Amino acid sequence: MHSNYSKQEIQRIVLAIAESNSIRGTARILSFDKDAVNRIVLKAGEHCKKILGDLIRDLHLNECQIDELSLQRNLTI
């Protein structure tokens, strides 16, 4: 992920978001611009999508647990 920010700064941003902080809250707490935080989070999400797309393939599952969020969104299984 090419960025003007160090690995440590990017890590702090991603960890803050993972702890359920908002984009604005993370920007305020860590003294970053909210647009920069948003760009970093979007790039991290794209990176995760690529990694998981390569790692999680052809799964043959006998059981699957669905979390509450999926049920609240009325997803059909």
pLDDT band at residue 76 using 50, 70 and 90 as cut-offs: low
Q: The tokens of 14 are what?
A: 């991603």
State pTM to two decimals.
0.69
pLDDT tens-digit map of 5-54: 999 999 999 999 999 999 999 999 999 999 999 999 999 999 999 998 88
Kindly tell me if the per-residue pLDDT of 4 is higher than 90: no
Kindly tell me if the per-residue pLDDT of 72 is higher than 70: no
Alpha carbons 8 and 31: distance in angstroms, whole number: 14
Alpha carbons 23 and 18: distance in angstroms, whole number: 11
Q: The tokens of 47 are what?
A: 């990176």
Contact (CB, 8 A) for 41 and 23: yes
Alpha carbons 43 and 24: distance in angstroms, whole number: 17
